Amino acid sequence: MIVALLAAIIPMVQAAEPSTITVHDAWVRATPPGIQVGGGYVTVTNTGKQADRLVGASSPLAEKAEIHVSETIDSMARMRWLKDGVEIPAGKEVMLAPGGIHLMFMGLKQAIIKGEEVPVTLQFEQAGEIDVLLRAAKIGSLKAPAEDVTHAH
């Protein structure tokens, strides 16, 4: 009797804790025809007590996606692959944005059109995979597209 009761309780105790990682302000830049790379941006919030790490991304629209950082060295703008990803410290928010850390989509299979939503799977060291939709802003945009008024609350 007691054993049966314990057996019923233990799996509940061991159940995975809900993820403390949330992703918002997820967007991409629309791409000109014929260009096969594009930048994507998300803001990641970690409400947990342990750091996590964004380590990768993928999308059915691109052959691959990497996490890059833009930097200027000797007044030359360039991008560097962050192969270990980016840390999301406990209790902090990390914003990927133009000119800084970004998702780089390579081998785009089609142009990204303004207003479209691009499905992306983000991979976190602790939280695992999180699926997000990146809304496409205009080509070269420096910020997320304005909220669609038809979706306003």
CB of 39 to Cu ion, least distance (A): 6
Output 71 or 129, the one with its CB closest to Cu ion: 71
Q: Are 131 and 119 in contact (CB under 8 A)?
A: yes
CB of 8 to Cu ion, least distance (A): 51
d(CA 69, CA 48): 25
CB of 144 to Cu ion, least distance (A): 18
Output 79 or 94, the one with its CB closest to Cu ion: 79
Output 51 or 82, the one with its CB closest to Cu ion: 82
Output 21 or 65, the one with its CB closest to Cu ion: 65
CB of 67 to Cu ion, least distance (A): 9
Note the residues at the interface with Cu ion (CB under 5 A).
Answer: 68, 79, 104
